Amino acid sequence: MLALVHWPLVKLYLLVLCSLPLFHWAHRFRYTLYDGLKVKHLNEVIFTFCYGSAVLGTVVAAYLLWSIK
C-alpha cells in the first residue's frame, strides 16, 4: 500500500477522497445548526467554523499525503 501512495495520481485521489466528506460534513452540520437549533442569526460564525474546519482538514490531509516519502 505504501508503494501506491508514492504515485502523485494516487495522492491526488486520496486527497479528494478525504476532502469531499469533510465538505459534505460542513454543509450538513451548517444546515443542521440553522434548521435544528434555529441559530440563523449566527450565519457568519457558523459558515466560518464549518467550512474553515473543512479547509483546515483538507490542508492537513494534503500535508500528510505529500510528506510521505
Whole-angstrom distance, CA of residue 56 vs CA of residue 67: 16
What is the spatial distance between Cα 9 and Cα 39, in angstroms, rounded to a whole number?
41
CA–CA gap between residue 62 and residue 19 (Å, rounded): 9
| 1-11: pLDDT as tens digits | 889 999 999 99
What is the tens place of the pLDDT at every residue in 14-66? 999 999 999 999 999 999 999 888 888 889 999 999 999 999 999 999 999 99
Beta strand ranges found along 1-69 (DSSP E): none
Q: What is the pLDDT of residue 39?
A: 87
Distances (CA, A) of 55 to 6, 35, 38: 23, 23, 25
pLDDT of 38 reads 87
Please report the pLDDT score of residue 69 as a whole number.
Answer: 81
